[in-house]
Amino acid sequence: MKQNDDLRAVQAAKAAAANIKATAKALEDRHRTLSKDLERIIHADRAQEEVVAEMERLVDQAGAAFPADFGRTFVRQLSGHTELRGPGDARERVVRPRLPELPNGYLGHFNSLCALFPDLVKVRLREVIAQSGANFGLPAAARAAKVGELEAAIADVERLHTDLVDGAAEVGIELPLLPAVRQRREAEALRLRREQELEAERARGLYRVNAGGPLGG
């Protein structure tokens, strides 16, 4: 009878261990899925409507700068003017009004198109944006809310998984921590060890050079 009880206890222990491992794997899969979702949202392009709004702002900005850059020159060319050329009968030269001239190469700049044909540029760039195949993300407010939601869910999964790993270790079942949790624990352990070493050196009257103090003997 005792042997049967022992066998049943072993079987129950095996079943419990299998359940614990299955739960750990489910949490690991969940953590992986949530982390991928978070990375996808963080690294996605801005929302399409935000990209369009930014494009229109930049086109308007280029157009607004155009009069300041070329306005006075254009007025002088359109109105005509008289040039003084020195003494004598031909000391003046009348320059007749003419259409404005842009600096060489200026028309090859995108800014010139934005300044001269802003509405056409906006229409065409809207089409380019829409047909780009870009990975447009959520609008800024929705993106921030979704990031917060996913970060909270990830933290919850990490807490549950860590509690499971620590609890399993108490009954002899070894499970690996989630990589993110393990890295944080290792970093924290390293930080504490360095602080302890520094405190020990201070107690002996020693300071690390990179800690800003002199070395003593």
Phi, psi of 91 (to 5 degrees): -75, -15
Q: Give pLDDT, residue 6.
A: 56
Highest mean pLDDT among 88-92, 105-109, 176-180: 176-180
Query: In the chain, where does DSSP find H-type helix?
Result: 2-43, 48-79, 110-116, 118-130, 140-170, 179-203
What are the structure tokens assigned to 142, written together?
């929705």
User: Which of 15-29, 47-61, 77-91, 155-169 comes out lowest in average pLDDT?
Assistant: 77-91
Measured in whole angstroms, the distance separating CA 154 from the mean position of its chain's CA atoms is 19
Asked if the model's pLDDT at residue 43 lies above 60, the reply is yes
Mean pLDDT of 29-49: 95
β-sheet bridge partners, residue 136: 45
Phi, psi of 62 (to 5 degrees): -65, -40
Please, what sign has the CA dihedral across residues 175, 179, 183, 184?
negative
Going by pLDDT thresholds of 50, 70 and 90, the confidence category of residue 34 is very high
Mean pLDDT of 61-74: 82
Q: How are beta strands 81-84 and 92-95 bridged, if at all?
A: antiparallel
pLDDT averaged over the chain? 84
Asked if the model's pLDDT at residue 216 lies above 60, the reply is no
Asked if the model's pLDDT at residue 162 lies above 90, the reply is yes
Q: Give pLDDT, residue 217.
A: 44
- CA angle 6/7/12 to nearest 5° reads 95
What are the structure tokens assigned to 33, written together?
């899925």
The reported pTM is 0.65
User: Which of 48-57, 73-82, 206-215 comes out lowest in average pLDDT?
Assistant: 206-215
Contact 77, 97 (CB under 8 A): yes
Which percentage of the chain shows pLDDT scores above 70? Answer: 83
Q: Look at 156 and 211; give whichever has higher pLDDT.
A: 156
Q: Report the 10 Å Cβ neighbour count for 174.
A: 7
Q: Look at 103 and 73; give whichever has higher pLDDT.
A: 73
Asked if the model's pLDDT at residue 80 lies above 90, the reply is no
Q: Give pLDDT, residue 107.
A: 62
Residue carrying the six token digits 């999964």: 157
H or E stretch at 83: strand 81-84
Going by pLDDT thresholds of 50, 70 and 90, the confidence category of residue 67 is confident
Q: Give pLDDT, residue 110.
A: 82
Asked if the model's pLDDT at residue 88 lies above 70, the reply is no
Going by pLDDT thresholds of 50, 70 and 90, the confidence category of residue 47 is very high
